Amino acid sequence: MTYSQALAQAFDIIRRTIPKMGTDRPAIGRSDLTYERCHDSHWVDGFWSGQLWLAYAETGDEVFLEAARLQRPYFIARLDRPESHDHDLGFLYSLSLVAEYKLTGDQDARLGALRAADSLARRYNVRGRFIRAWNSWANGEHNRGRIIIDSMENLGLLFWAAQQAGQPRYRDIAVAHAQTTINTIVRADGSTYHSFVFDPQTGTPVRGETVQGYADESCWSRGQSWGIHGFALAYCYTGDEQFRATAVRLADYALAHLPDDRVPYWDYLLPDGAPRYRDSSAGAIMAAGLFLLADLLGSGAEAALYRQAARAILDSLLAGYTTFDHPQAEGLLTQGASHVAQGYANNMLPYGDYFLIEALLRAQGRTVFFW
């Protein structure tokens, strides 16, 4: 299957799912390859919009445009519910309102995305130089000083808003958070913690932890993928070599720990006897990040290595992890591991679906996205 053929099949699945999804959004896949729908404060809400906007940008088919615009009232209304906001505002609004503005020039979408960026910036802890992750009610007051590797993917909203609004403070916050992540979450060997905890009053670093990985000192594979893609994006906006170098370190670690078929297990450091679920979403995110990193490195041997590795991951996903032969499927990738400790494995995941499309587009030379 060529990448063009895979994209066409993915877009066909999205097109046939649009009437069933309506104004809802996919949350997590069921065993029959349909999707549970999101609740009204979900962190994954933006990935369906992201797929619709990518499909519209690539095909020009107004079916995708109309479906994406049906999602806008939800994202605008959610701006008036700040209690639903956390560090994932980039996932929510880069793939919805920023995407709409970039593709259509709609000013209401632009203003809504700027409001989201401002809300994200207000989570900044000045003493610790980090953007707070989960809200206190999620796991108690402990979260007031917590960051997670996922947040690297949300910094694009701040970088974009700094350019749009002429607000260098947004850029400064994004850069500071990325630097803090390097200093705390990224380990010396290029692996990563899922989470790092600070004293919220003083900003003093306390310890690394995990929530979705196997153990505090293991390496959650999707978090590693968020880091590869996120640090590469930070380099795109800043030209700061430390961010590209960090993406390289994370990529080298992940590539050295992939199984034979190149699709990651849910954690890179699983002991004997631990469940060995795959995480196709970690593979899709990693493939997209490796293509981006290769583009940033130019045409030399290192870039060729990452491009070849990205293709190997993508080829394996297409060969053994898609829903393309299932006429009832509402998603694209099987065998995603959302949160193994809570029993969520072997599911379709909307972020896996989104990043499969992004990886397929990057594999064919596309470089302009919504981050």
Q: How many domains does the chain have?
A: 1
Cα 36 versus chain centre, distance: 20
Whether 173 and 158 have beta carbons less than 8 Å apart is answered as yes
Whether 251 and 245 have beta carbons less than 8 Å apart is answered as no
Scored b (16 or more CB within 10 A) or e, 14-27 reads bbebbeebeebbbb
Residue 318 lies in a domain: yes
Q: Is 295 a catalytic residue?
A: no
Counting every residue written for the chain, the total comes to: 371
State the pLDDT at residue 135.
84
In this structure, what token pair is assigned to residue 30? 């069921």
Residue 368 lies in a domain: no
Residue 106 lies in a domain: yes
Q: Is 279 a catalytic residue?
A: no
Rounded CA-CA distance 183/268 in Å is 21
State the pLDDT at residue 140.
57
Number of other residues whose CB lies within 10 A of the CB of residue 364: 13
Angle between helices 168-184 and 221-238 (to 10 degrees): 140
State the pLDDT at residue 143.
82
Task: Supply the CATH number for residue 69's domain.
Answer: 1.50.10.10
Range of the structural domain that residue 276 is part of: 3-363
Residue 371 lies in a domain: no
pLDDT in tens, 292-340: 999 999 989 999 999 999 999 999 999 999 999 999 999 999 999 999 9
Scored b (16 or more CB within 10 A) or e, 231-240 reads bbbbbbbbee
In this structure, what token pair is assigned to residue 353? 């679906």
Phi, psi of 118, deg, nearest 5: -65, -40
HEC secondary structure over 188-209:
CCCCECCEEEECCCCCCEEEEE
HEC secondary structure over 241-304:
HHHHHHHHHHHHHHHHCCCCCCCCECECCCCCCCCCCECHHHHHHHHHHHHHHHHHHCCCHHHH
Half-sphere exposure of 128 (CA within 13 A, CB side): 24
For the chain, which residues score pLDDT lower than 70?
Answer: 136-142
DSSP-derived secondary structure letter, 186: B
Task: Choose the catalytic residue: 32, 106, 118, 150.
Answer: 150
31: three-class secondary structure by DSSP: coil
Residue 370 lies in a domain: no
State the pLDDT at residue 284.
99
Rounded CA-CA distance 370/156 in Å is 9
Residue 273 lies in a domain: yes
Rounded CA-CA distance 187/149 in Å is 12
Whether 175 and 131 have beta carbons less than 8 Å apart is answered as no
Rounded CA-CA distance 291/361 in Å is 10
Task: Choose the catalytic residue: 45, 86, 88, 353.
Answer: 88
Sign of torsion over alpha carbons 5, 227, 56, 38? positive
Residue 271 lies in a domain: yes
267: three-class secondary structure by DSSP: strand
- Residue linked to tokens 């803090």: 180
pTM recorded for the entire structure:
0.98
